[in-house]
């Protein structure tokens, strides 16, 4: 009989302990947030999606060389004299057309090693962390502002300029070869 009352008291006691914990949490304010509508503030220096301010990019390729997973692809075309590319926001003069600046976020390991070598500080990590896609190809972000036609035109202009420069060098070399050389005075013989 003693065991019966002991077991009954133990069952009631354990239920009361559980109810105490339940009631304790019932009246405390909730700490959960309604995620899609409410988002937490991201801490400083968070490493998420990369962004490139293409107006400040000089095409130096230092970020692509620093990337350990080779997720950055940069193609440039040299500008010809007379083309004004402008300057960056911190005063560096641009000399190259950035025809392609792609970042494959699917490969990116968010190490932020590409941010620090940039001399114009045009590439940086943002606080955007939601960038899921259904197709993998959509994870390649293209930052170049030039259209395909403009890229082809810039390449064609550079080829024409280089061809004209080579023609001028060849003409100058031909003119120098055709110019008669003055006769050198005879050297007295030493006897």
Annotated domain spans of the chain: 50-149
Q: Is 28 exposed, middle or buried (0-12, 13-18, 19+ CB in 10 A)?
A: exposed
Range of weakest confidence among 78-87, 117-126, 144-153, 176-185: 176-185
pLDDT digits (tens, 9 = 90+) for 128-160: 888 888 999 999 999 998 889 989 998 898 888
The domain 50-149 having CATH identifier 3.30.70.3270: the answer here is yes
Report residue 78 as tokens.
Answer: 């040299």
Q: Is the pLDDT of residue 186 over 70?
A: no
pLDDT digits (tens, 9 = 90+) for 116-127: 999 999 999 988
Long-range contacts of the stretch 126-133 (C-beta < 8 A, 24+): 126/48, 126/49, 126/50, 126/51, 127/42, 127/46, 127/48, 128/48, 128/49, 129/42, 129/46, 129/48, 129/49, 131/49, 131/105
Contact call for residues 97 and 146 (beta carbons, < 8 A)? yes
Residue range 17-39: average pLDDT? 85
Q: Is the pLDDT of residue 182 over 80?
A: no
pLDDT at residue number 134: 93
Query: Using 50, 70 and 90 to split pLDDT, how confident is the model at 47?
Result: confident
């Amino acid at each position: 009989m003693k065991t019966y009352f002991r077991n009954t008291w133990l069952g009631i006691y354990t239920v009361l302990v559980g109810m105490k914990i339940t009631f304790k949490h019932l009246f405390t304010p909730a700490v959960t947030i309604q995620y899609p509508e409410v988002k937490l503030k991201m801490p400083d220096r968070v490493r998420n999606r990369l962004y490139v301010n293409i107006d400040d990019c000089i095409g130096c390729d230092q970020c692509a060389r620093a990337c350990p997973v080779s997720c950055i692809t940069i193609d440039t075309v040299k500008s010809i004299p007379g083309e004004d590319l402008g300057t960056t926001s911190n005063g560096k003069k641009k000399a190259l057309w950035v025809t392609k600046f792609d970042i494959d976020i699917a490969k990116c390991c968010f190490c932020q090693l590409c941010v620090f070598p940039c001399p114009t500080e045009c590439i940086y990590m943002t606080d955007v962390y939601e960038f899921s896609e259904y197709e993998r190809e959509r994870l390649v972000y293209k930052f170049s502002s030039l259209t395909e036609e403009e890229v082809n035109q810039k390449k064609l202009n550079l080829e024409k300029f280089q061809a004209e420069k080579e023609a001028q060098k060849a003409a100058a070399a031909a003119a120098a070869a055709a110019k008669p050389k003055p006769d050198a005075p005879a050297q007295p013989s030493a006897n």
